[in-house]
Amino acid sequence: MVTSTEGGIVSTINSVAMEHSLIVERLSVSFKSGAGDVHAVNDVSLRVTPGKTLGIVGESGSGKSVTVRAVMGLLGHSATVTGSACLDGEELVGMPEDQLRRRRGIKMAMVFQDPMSSLNPTMRIGSQVAEAVRQHRKVGRREAWSEAVALLRSVRVPDPERRARDYPHQLSGGMRQRVMIAMALSARPSVLFADEPTTALDVTTQAQILTLLDDLKQRYGMGVVLITHDLGIAARHTDDLAVMYAGRVVESAPTKTLIGAIRMPYTQALMDAIPRIDAPSHSPLASIEGSPPDPSKPILGCAFAPRCPRVGDRCTTTPLLAEGEPGHRWACWYPLGVDA
């Protein structure tokens, strides 16, 4: 289902088509459910630039995965998607499944959170990567195998000729995720969605894989959407940031701008919950008390209000995402560091 967007927005799409490979405008997703519809994503707008990484940050359940799955067309029939998602000038929302399937893999690929559930336990990892290669290009088995080995090497699987013959259970968690990334990269997509790709990995591997993604995105002009709940990683490895809460983007800006001057109390709370390497052992952490609102219940006013330390009178009215400073948008009545 597609809703028409306002004229102003449509015209900007054309003028910035060269600049952005993916433009998401006012995307909303709801799921049918017995206990009332689940409004998982509300009015989300995002832009992905070739050769750059957009980070989407937010707590569990904030709608990060549903947003990218909606763009990829991976949500089932229980989902109602409205708004627009344009990939290289083509509207994806409402595109028939067979056409979407062709674009997945070639134009857009995804690395998921959980590598084990996406790997076939009865197949050698080399064969699985080779199969991914053969889905996108007509090459012989031998060539696909050697390409698979090369891909495994590029994601730093040690001794790739040998490890290609291993089964998933013989690999540690980190190695399995490298295999998944090799499979996603096999088609050299124009946008790569990475949904918490390094959450389970150690720091050096994290750094290596994010650096690898940096290399690849620059070499192939690939746009990367990196989903993470770790604002620290996002600060180091993204060019642009969008912070999500309860299905909405609540703050967005180029990463340097945003980290340099956080405006949304929620973004600040996410930052404060990260343990600090320079703090003494056993010091208590500032955790955000309570939990995000139930997406099947209507929300009145700012969704963060029940947990917000700055909540005030105006917060009973929903604050809209608006540009408060050049390139920096936030949805808050009482932003940090801004005099009222």
Ligand X SMILES: Nc1ncnc2c1ncn2[C@@H]1O[C@H](COP(=O)(O)OP(=O)(O)OP(=O)(O)O)[C@@H](O)[C@H]1O
**Residues at the contact surface with ligand SF4, assessed by CB under 6 A:** 265-266, 302, 304-305, 308, 310-312, 315, 319, 332-334
- Does residue 205 belong to the site contacting Mg ion (CB under 5 A)? no
- Does residue 214 belong to the site contacting other proteins (CB under 8 A)? no
8 Å CB contact between 237 and 224: no
H helix intervals, the chain: 7-16, 64-72, 97-106, 115-118, 125-136, 141-154, 160-163, 173-185, 203-220, 231-237, 255-260, 265-272
Q: Name which position in 149, 171, 302, 321 contacts ligand X (CB under 6 A).
A: 171
Residue 56 binding: pick among Mg ion, ligand SF4, other proteins, none (C-beta 5-8 Å cut-off by kind): none
For 123, other C-beta atoms within 10 Å of its C-beta total 13
Smaller CB separation from other proteins, 139 or 207: 207
Residue 31 binding: pick among ligand SF4, Mg ion, ligand X, none (C-beta 5-8 Å cut-off by kind): ligand X
What are the residues whose beta carbons fall under 8 Å from the beta carbon of 65, sequence distance 6 or more?
113, 195, 227
Q: Which stretch binds other proteins (CB under 8 A): 34-42, 76-84, 100-108, 285-293?
A: 285-293
Residue 66 binding: pick among ligand X, Mg ion, ligand SF4, none (C-beta 5-8 Å cut-off by kind): ligand X
- Does residue 4 belong to the site contacting other proteins (CB under 8 A)? no
- Does residue 87 belong to the site contacting ligand X (CB under 6 A)? no
Smaller CB separation from ligand SF4, 27 or 308: 308
Residue that is written with structure tokens 């540009």 in the block: 323
- Does residue 228 belong to the site contacting Mg ion (CB under 5 A)? no
Binding to Mg ion (CB under 5 A) within 43-82 occurs at 65
Q: Name which position in 9, 13, 31, 112 contacts ligand X (CB under 6 A).
A: 31
Residue that is written with structure tokens 């809209």 in the block: 320
Indicate the residue type of 3.
T
8 Å CB contact between 129 and 152: yes
Smaller CB separation from ligand X, 272 or 294: 294
Residue 63 binding: pick among ligand SF4, other proteins, ligand X, none (C-beta 5-8 Å cut-off by kind): ligand X
DSSP conformation class of 284: P
Smaller CB separation from other proteins, 90 or 202: 202
Nearest to 302 by CA among 267, 250, 263, 255: 250
Q: How far is the CB of 235 from ligand SF4 (least distance, A)?
A: 20
8 Å CB contact between 313 and 297: no
- Compute CA distances 74 → 126, 242, 331, whole Å: 26, 21, 29
Residue 4 binding: pick among ligand SF4, Mg ion, other proteins, none (C-beta 5-8 Å cut-off by kind): none
Residue that is written with structure tokens 């790569």 in the block: 192
Residue 174 binding: pick among ligand X, ligand SF4, Mg ion, none (C-beta 5-8 Å cut-off by kind): ligand X
Q: How far is the CB of 309 from ligand SF4 (least distance, A)?
A: 8
Binding to other proteins (CB under 8 A) within 113-172 occurs at 156, 158-159, 162-163, 165-166, 170-172
8 Å CB contact between 48 and 191: yes
**CA atoms in the 13 A half-sphere facing the CB of 334:** 15
Q: Name which position in 3, 120, 218, 291 contacts other proteins (CB under 8 A).
A: 291
- Does residue 291 belong to the site contacting ligand X (CB under 6 A)? no
Q: How far is the CB of 96 from Mg ion (least distance, A)?
A: 26
- Does residue 229 belong to the site contacting ligand X (CB under 6 A)? yes
8 Å CB contact between 202 and 215: no
For 277, other C-beta atoms within 10 Å of its C-beta total 6
8 Å CB contact between 31 and 37: yes
